[in-house]
Amino acid sequence: MDNLEAIIESLLFASDTPLTIDKIKSVLETADRKTVREALTNLAEEYESGKRGFFLAEVAGGFQVRTRPEYRQWIRRLKETRPARLSRAALETLAIIAYKQPVLRSDVEYLRGVDSGGTLRTLFERRLIRVMGRKDLPGRPMIYGTTKQFLELFDLKDLNELPALKDLKDLGETWPNDSR
């Protein structure tokens, strides 16, 4: 491992948020984007081929070292406290906002058929959605969109990486999961 890679590794390791290439570049001063990207690619390959306990995830426009999903059970045992789960309602509301953004609350409620104020508030508090602006309509309603934290949570590089909406006609007998 060369020195630059080791330094970048230490930065990734010390950061609690994904680091962009530009961020790494600005910290290192001397390096250019290409060099940083190469070092990141090398690190990613090394983690992969070395079958390490972690891997390099490309999320929310940056890079973050994360533990391998296959070890989830052990880490959950270590952490004991379970993270707050998203309710089915919150998840569906979030999916609507992710796919339809920029979107109004009334659009969300039209799709779901129910008042969604409380759910929106929850998503807001968890910083998964944000106000993108206001619509030029009576009452100037807020326009919602997803946040960086949303991308981080679902391991998405950017919004383009959202899985394509399924064509219902191709699905046949399968039904969406439900908690019920």
Partner 1 sequence: MEQTQDQTPYKVHLGDLFDGPMDLLVHLVKKNEVDIYDIPIALITQQYVEYLEWMKSLNIDVAGDFLVMAATLAHIKSRVLLPTQEEGVDDEDPRMEIVRPLAEYLQLKYAADDLMERDRLDWDVFARRDFDGTEASSEGEPGGLIQVGLFELIDAFQEIIKRVSPAYLWDLTPDTISVKSRISQIADILEERGSMTFQELFEAQATRGDIIVTFLAILEMAKFQLIRIMQHLESGIIRIFNG
Q: Which positions lie near a second copy, rule CB under 8 A? A: 1, 3, 5-15, 19, 23, 26-28, 50-54, 65, 67-68, 71, 74-75, 77-79, 81, 105, 117-118, 120-121, 124, 130-134, 142, 147, 155-157, 160-161, 163, 167, 170-173
Please, which of residues 91-110 interact with partner 1 by CB under 8 A? 91-92, 94-96, 98-102, 110
Please, which of residues 141-160 interact with partner 1 by CB under 8 A? 143, 145-146, 148, 152-156, 158-160
Rounded to a whole number of angstroms, the minimum distance from the CB of residue 34 to partner 1 is 26
Phi, psi at residue 28, to the nearest 5°?
-80, -15
Rounded to a whole number of angstroms, the minimum distance from the CB of residue 4 to a second copy is 10
Angle at 61 between CA 60 and CA 65, to 5 degrees: 70
Angle at 64 between CA 62 and CA 65, to 5 degrees: 160
Query: Which partner, partner 1, a second copy, none, binds residue 96 by CB below 5 to 8 Å per kind?
Result: partner 1
Selected from 31, 66, 106, 117, the binder of partner 1 by CB under 8 A is: 66
Rounded to a whole number of angstroms, the minimum distance from the CB of residue 78 to a second copy is 5
Residue 126's contacts (CB-CB under 8 Å, 6 or more residues apart) are 84, 86, 149
Residue 63's contacts (CB-CB under 8 Å, 6 or more residues apart) are 12, 18, 19, 20, 21, 40, 56, 57
Residue 27 in contact with partner 1, rule: CB under 8 A: no
Which CB, 35 or 149, lies closer to partner 1?
A: 149
Angle at 82 between CA 121 and CA 94, to 5 degrees: 30
Rounded to a whole number of angstroms, the minimum distance from the CB of residue 178 to a second copy is 15
Selected from 33, 34, 52, 76, the binder of partner 1 by CB under 8 A is: 76
Rounded to a whole number of angstroms, the minimum distance from the CB of residue 45 to partner 1 is 18
Phi, psi at residue 19, to the nearest 5°?
-105, 130
How far is 68 from 85, CA to CA, in rounded Å? 20
Task: Burial-class residue 116 by CB neighbours within 10 Å (0-12, 13-18, 19+).
Answer: buried
